[in-house]
Amino acid sequence: MRYDRELLVETLVAHQRYDVGGCVSPVEKD
């Protein structure tokens, strides 16, 4: 696996929680 999926989702969930009006989506990085 090229990235840590749990860490990625954790970061996005935290961002989504506090970013009013913004909608984020995970991007797989090489």
Could you list the residues that contact another protein (CB under 8 A)? 4-17, 20-29
What is the amino acid identity at position 15? Answer: H
CB of 23 to another protein, least distance (A): 4
CB of 19 to another protein, least distance (A): 8
CB of 30 to another protein, least distance (A): 8
**Residues 4, 28, 6: CA angle, nearest 5 degrees:** 25
Owner of token pair 């995970």: 26
Structure tokens at 5: 């999926």
